[in-house]
């Protein structure tokens, strides 16, 4: 029975499938190689810039390699060649001398021929295809060059993944800083929303509180470095603390407590005295209004005592709140007169002043609380990216052994060194050894700047006990009265008086901190020292 055209179609498809399998090895290897080369480029970049950890690099390499392999196989199996193209390919690969192509063209009537010739050509093409051993004619072998390139690139990538990456520490630090900034941004956004939802605050008061917080949020969103974020948070914190001090002077509460002691001796003013003692100015305002309402029922002695108590209250408030003191004095003067209406009006004015001051105090407390939150956020951002000490005695990034807070171990050592100076070298050696011992025994306790002062670098102490110092013989009269001897060793004696600080610490600290932050941007500062500078100024935050 002569073969039909479906037999030829089946043989051509089988040949085309074998050809695709052969091509899959070639193009799959090439796609895999391209993916591995891309991963090698990423691995090289990760060695110069903090981009990926070694574990992440391994996953990226696997992903790129798989993607390259998939694209290579897709390029082979996605096209759908026509039957004529398959016939031409079979003739070329199997050297059939265009038997299959001619049979297909005759069947598709591309070439006109009698039926007997078409049948003979079809039979000849089928016989030729059936006689071919496809595994032998189209072997599934990988080119050696492609295989070697894949193995070499994979080996280099494996080496890059296994060897420590010098950028890992910087990368983890950057991510920790970014995560901390994101967390603190969410906290500050919650604080801002809480201020907006506070119905007890006026629109103007809300604006006063929100402006520094919003400025800090904008700075955190656009900050390019940890230093900028810390500086923005510190600036916002300073503004809110200044606002808190402006609205409610720090010495106002002691003055109110002193006034409450004076008013407590008057039974009619006991509610007012209790409110002032508790610092509740709104309640004090209500008590003062009640005094104005009950004033017609008081006898002359009670009114006189109340006037005297309010006068003393005005004196107590004189140095802390001049406006409130004036209102209290005005009420005292009005109570001393005979005009009842004027006295009631003066008491109502005092009540109004207390109510306004109570509102300001509430805003001040809110500003102080917000400033505290900003301070916590600032410390969190400043400490972000620092390694914590692990088991086994490893020190943190930015720390050094034998750390101590300012004013502890050093002060003790200096005191011990001066105590034994009697003018002999033996005493000096002993004091030097004691100083060295005290310097070396400094603990890691935080300094006055805050709990994170433990990360400030303190150089390790040097043992000076075996180093001979310079012997200085003091005349006998110098031991009794050193001032009579003048300067020693060409030193000029310093005359001390009643020196006091002329510039508040908080006024100059910001300038020094900002100057340090600007200096940190310079390339000539070693990267390892920048963390120490940041920690040092963070520990000195007022």
* Residue that is written with structure tokens 């004033």 in the block: 295
Give dist(CA 134, CA 94) in Å, integer: 9
Give me 190's structure tokens: 């919650």
Confidence band for 147, pLDDT divided at 50, 70 and 90? very high
Confidence band for 449, pLDDT divided at 50, 70 and 90? very low
397 pLDDT exceeds 50? no
More confident residue, 511 or 188: 188
83 pLDDT exceeds 90? yes
More confident residue, 209 or 535: 209
Give dist(CA 88, CA 78) in Å, integer: 19
How much is the pLDDT for 387? 58
Give dist(CA 236, CA 217) in Å, integer: 10
What are the φ and ψ backbone dihedral angles of 68, each rounded to 5 degrees?
-65, -40
What are the φ and ψ backbone dihedral angles of 233, each rounded to 5 degrees?
-65, -40
Give dist(CA 414, CA 370) in Å, integer: 41
114 DSSP assignment: -
How far from 183 is each of 123, 178, 217, 381, 387, CA to CA, in Å? Answer: 78, 9, 12, 10, 18
Burial of residue 411 (CB within 10 Å: 0-12, 13-18, 19+) is exposed
* Nearest partner of 335 among 326, 348, 344, judged by Cα: 344
Give dist(CA 308, CA 298) in Å, integer: 15
Confidence band for 513, pLDDT divided at 50, 70 and 90? confident
pLDDT in tens, 463-512: 666 666 666 555 555 555 555 555 554 555 556 556 555 667 677 777 77
70 DSSP assignment: H
Give dist(CA 92, CA 530) in Å, integer: 70
How much is the pLDDT for 497? 59
Give dist(CA 324, CA 308) in Å, integer: 16
Work out the average pLDDT over 240-267. Answer: 79
How far from 79 is each of 20, 76, 138, 522, CA to CA, in Å? Answer: 10, 7, 20, 57
374 pLDDT exceeds 60? yes
How much is the pLDDT for 500? 59
Residue 521's contacts (CB-CB under 8 Å, 6 or more residues apart) are 225, 227
Q: Which long-range contacts (CB under 8 A, 24 or more apart) does 221-227 make?
A: 221/185, 223/181, 225/521, 226/177, 226/381, 226/382, 226/384, 226/385, 226/534, 227/517, 227/520, 227/521, 227/534
Q: What is the pTM of this model?
A: 0.52
Confidence band for 380, pLDDT divided at 50, 70 and 90? confident
Average pLDDT, the chain: 77
How much is the pLDDT for 57? 93
Give dist(CA 509, CA 229) in Å, integer: 17
How much is the pLDDT for 93? 92
420 pLDDT exceeds 50? no
Q: In this structure, are residues 331 and 310 in contact, taking their beta carbons and an 8 Å threshold? A: yes
Low-confidence winner among 105-109, 418-422, 493-497, 507-511 (lowest mean pLDDT): 418-422
Give me 312's structure tokens: 């003393």
Low-confidence winner among 20-24, 155-159, 342-346 (lowest mean pLDDT): 342-346
* Nearest partner of 240 among 221, 214, 202, 218, judged by Cα: 214
Region of residue 407 (left: phi > 0; alpha: psi -120 to 50; beta: else)? left
Q: In this structure, are residues 212 and 229 in contact, taking their beta carbons and an 8 Å threshold? A: no
Q: In this structure, are residues 316 and 262 in contact, taking their beta carbons and an 8 Å threshold? A: yes
């Amino acid at each position: 029975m002569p073969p039909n055209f479906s037999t030829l179609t089946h043989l051509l498809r089988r040949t085309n499938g074998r050809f695709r399998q052969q091509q899959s090895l070639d193009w799959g290897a090439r796609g895999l190689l391209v993916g591995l080369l891309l991963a090698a480029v990423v691995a090289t970049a990760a060695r110069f810039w903090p981009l990926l950890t070694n574990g992440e690099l391994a996953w990226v390499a696997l992903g790129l390699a798989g993607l390259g392999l998939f694209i290579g196989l897709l390029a082979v199996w996605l096209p759908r060649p026509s039957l004529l193209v398959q016939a031409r390919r079979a003739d070329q690969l199997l050297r059939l001398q265009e038997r299959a192509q001619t049979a297909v063209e005759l069947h598709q009537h591309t070439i006109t021929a009698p039926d007997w010739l078409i049948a003979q050509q079809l039979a000849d093409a089928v016989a030729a295809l059936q006689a071919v051993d496809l595994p032998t004619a189209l072997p599934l072998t990988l080119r050696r060059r492609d295989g070697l390139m894949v193995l070499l690139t994979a080996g280099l990538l494996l080496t890059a993944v296994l060897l420590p990456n010098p950028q890992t520490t910087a990368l983890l630090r950057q991510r920790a800083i970014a995560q901390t900034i994101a967390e603190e941004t969410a906290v500050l956004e919650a604080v801002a929303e809480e201020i907006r939802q506070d119905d007890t605050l006026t629109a103007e008061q809300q604006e006063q509180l929100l402006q520094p917080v919003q400025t800090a949020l904008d700075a955190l969103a656009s900050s390019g470095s940890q230093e900028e974020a810390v500086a923005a948070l510190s600036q916002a914190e300073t503004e809110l603390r200044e606002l808190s001090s402006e609205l409610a002077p720090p010495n106002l509460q002691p003055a109110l407590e002193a006034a409450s002691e004076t008013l407590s001796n008057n039974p009619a003013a006991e509610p007012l005295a209790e409110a002032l003692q508790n610092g509740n100015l709104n309640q004090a305002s209500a008590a003062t209004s009640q005094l104005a309402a009950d004033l017609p029922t008081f006898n002359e002695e009670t009114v006189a005592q109340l006037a005297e108590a309010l006068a003393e209250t005005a004196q107590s408030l004189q140095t802390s709140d001049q406006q409130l003191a004036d209102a209290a004095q005005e009420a005292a003067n009005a109570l001393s007169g005979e005009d009842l209406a004027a006295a009631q009006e003066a008491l109502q004015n005092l009540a109004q002043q207390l109510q306004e001051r109570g509102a300001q105090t509430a805003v001040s407390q809110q500003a102080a609380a917000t400033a505290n939150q900003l301070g916590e956020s600032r410390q969190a951002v400043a400490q972000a990216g620092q390694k914590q000490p692990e088991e086994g005695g490893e020190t943190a990034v930015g720390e050094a052994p034998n750390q101590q807070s300012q004013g502890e171990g050093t002060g003790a050592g200096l005191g011990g060194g001066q105590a034994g100076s009697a003018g002999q070298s033996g005493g000096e050696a002993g004091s030097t050894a004691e100083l060295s011992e005290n310097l070396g025994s400094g603990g890691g306790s935080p300094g006055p700047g805050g709990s994170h002062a433990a990360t400030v670098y303190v150089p390790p102490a040097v043992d000076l006990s075996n180093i001979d110092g310079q012997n200085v013989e003091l005349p006998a009269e110098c031991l009794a009265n050193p001032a009579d001897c003048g300067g020693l060793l060409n030193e000029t004696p310093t005359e001390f008086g009643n020196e006091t600080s002329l510039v508040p610490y908080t006024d100059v600290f910001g300038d020094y901190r900002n100057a340090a932050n600007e200096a940190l941007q310079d390339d000539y500062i070693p990267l390892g020292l920048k963390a120490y500078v940041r920690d040092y100024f963070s520990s000195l935050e007022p």
